[in-house]
Amino acid sequence: MAAEAKVVVVPKVQGPLEIHSVVLPSPGPHQVLIKQFASGICHSQLHTMHRSRSAPEVLGHESTGEVLEVGTEVSHVAPGDTVMVTWVPRTINPGDRIPEAARVELASGEVATCSNVFTWADHTLVDEGYVVKVPSTIEPLVSSIIGCAVMTGAGAVENTANVQAGDSVAIFGVGGVGLSAVVAASARGANPLITVDLDDEKLAFARRFGATHTINAAKVDPIAEIRALTQKTDRATIRRETVAGADFVFDCIGIKKTMEQIVPAARTGFFGGESGGTAVLVGVPTTGVELDPLDLLMNEKRFIGSIGGSCSPDRDFPRYIQWHQEGTLDLESLVTERFGIEDINSATAALEAGEIQGRAILVF
């Protein structure tokens, strides 16, 4: 079946987002046609909106919905199933078919594309590789942010860093991704669990999700504060200084300043006994970064990246759904704003201005 859809489009020429009425065709062999319930509004989409392009693009990469029709080669979902859409292949192994990019033919004849999926739309047509079957009992709206915000933040803690009970953790940026990292670190038993931001209200909000300490980087030096909270007076560095810093430091923002703060905020090495801490880049960077190579070398620190929380959605989504159902992951509180598709420009403007405390969603 074909489906009429309203789709948010980034025009070829810089300007406001546009809402297009289109007809999505019947699914190809490996595609799934989905009627959507809700979609997350991710900060990384602002990068797409502001960069130059040679053709229109479609946006959004986390959602919940109901399957309307599947292609002839699709076997893991069927019409009527409740699903989540994400931008990471649900499971992939060497030799597997690589999921296809998304494309939408506009009424003008132009084709708007995305490298994976589009979920800022009341209906979407995506490759089966990005579609995860979930129980019909999920909360259909707030669970839409599992496909990016939760996966990226919580996965960075669990999969990329493998934080263990008693590890000290510091998290820079407590938006939707950062708060998801807080939830996972708290569930893992991290202590202390330190959050860093520029907004006292956001920091107070982070305590509701498990933060034990908060630092306003607009008022104090966050590196010095983190080191003061994590001193190990019985251990010394190669320079005979007291070991200090968090075992794991996560940058959930990705700007130059925070990228350059997370390495010095990581724990220094215990000379001859223990390597230094790990700085994990989670937020999407838009600039270069300068690091102190002597700090990395002398303290045996690590600076690593985490894309999509190193997640395998088929494996990880059931756990995050269970967390929500058990109360570990309070998605109702994490989703702080809801918009209709016609308000998408207001939503992205609020996101860019830092006015979204947790995560915003589009409700269809």
Q: Is the pLDDT of residue 92 over 90?
A: no
Residue 296 three-state SS: helix
State the angle between helix axes of 176-187 and 200-207 in degrees (0 to 180), rounded to the nearest 10. Answer: 30
- pLDDT category at 72 given cuts 50, 70, 90 is very high
Same domain, 175 and 132: no
Q: For the residues 50-58, what does the mean pLDDT come to?
A: 92
Same domain, 133 and 164: no
Same domain, 67 and 174: no
Q: Is the pLDDT of residue 31 over 90?
A: yes
* Cα angle for residues 148, 34, 15 (degrees, 5° grid): 65
* 322 falls within a domain: no
* 312 falls within a domain: no
Instruction: State the chain's mean pLDDT as an integer.
Output: 96
Picking from 292, 307, 322, the residue at the C-terminal end of a domain is 307
Same domain, 212 and 186: yes
Structure confidence by residue, pLDDT tens digits, 170-204? 999 999 999 999 999 999 999 999 999 999 999 99
Same domain, 295 and 206: yes
Q: Is the pLDDT of residue 229 over 90?
A: yes
Picking from 271, 292, 307, the residue at the C-terminal end of a domain is 307
* 30 falls within a domain: yes
Q: What is the CATH number of the domain that holds 159?
A: 3.40.50.720
Which residue, 11, 12, 29, is CA-closest to 20? 11
Q: Which residue has the higher pLDDT, 273 or 333?
A: 333
Which residue, 140, 141, 131, is CA-closest to 71? 131
Same domain, 128 and 76: yes
Q: How would you list the strands of the sheet with 18-24, edge to edge?
A: 18-24, 3-10, 57-58, 111-114, 102-105
Same domain, 126 and 165: no
Residue 201 has a pLDDT of 94
Q: For the residues 331-341, what does the mean pLDDT come to?
A: 97
CA distance 362 to 63: 9
Structure confidence by residue, pLDDT tens digits, 110-163? 999 999 999 999 999 999 999 999 999 999 999 999 999 999 999 999 999 999
Same domain, 173 and 271: yes
CA distance 139 to 106: 32
- Tell me the sheet residues that pair with 317: none
* 210 falls within a domain: yes
Q: What is the CATH number of the domain that holds 82?
A: 3.90.180.10
Which residue, 149, 286, 261, 285, is CA-closest to 194? 261
Query: Could you tell me the residue range of the domain that residue 223 belongs to?
Result: 153-307
* 315 falls within a domain: no
Q: Is the pLDDT of residue 2 over 90?
A: no
Same domain, 194 and 300: yes
Mark out the alpha helices in the chain (DSSP H runs).
Answer: 45-50, 149-155, 176-187, 200-207, 222-229, 256-265, 293-298, 313-326, 331-334, 344-352
Same domain, 208 and 129: no
Residue 273 has a pLDDT of 86
Q: Is the pLDDT of residue 237 over 90?
A: yes
* 324 falls within a domain: no
Q: How many domains does the chain have?
A: 2
Picking from 262, 292, 307, the residue at the C-terminal end of a domain is 307
- pLDDT category at 288 given cuts 50, 70, 90 is very high
Same domain, 102 and 205: no
Q: Is the pLDDT of residue 340 over 90?
A: yes
Residue 242 three-state SS: strand
Same domain, 300 and 334: no
- pLDDT category at 79 given cuts 50, 70, 90 is very high
CA distance 284 to 286: 7
Residue 286 has a pLDDT of 87
* 319 falls within a domain: no
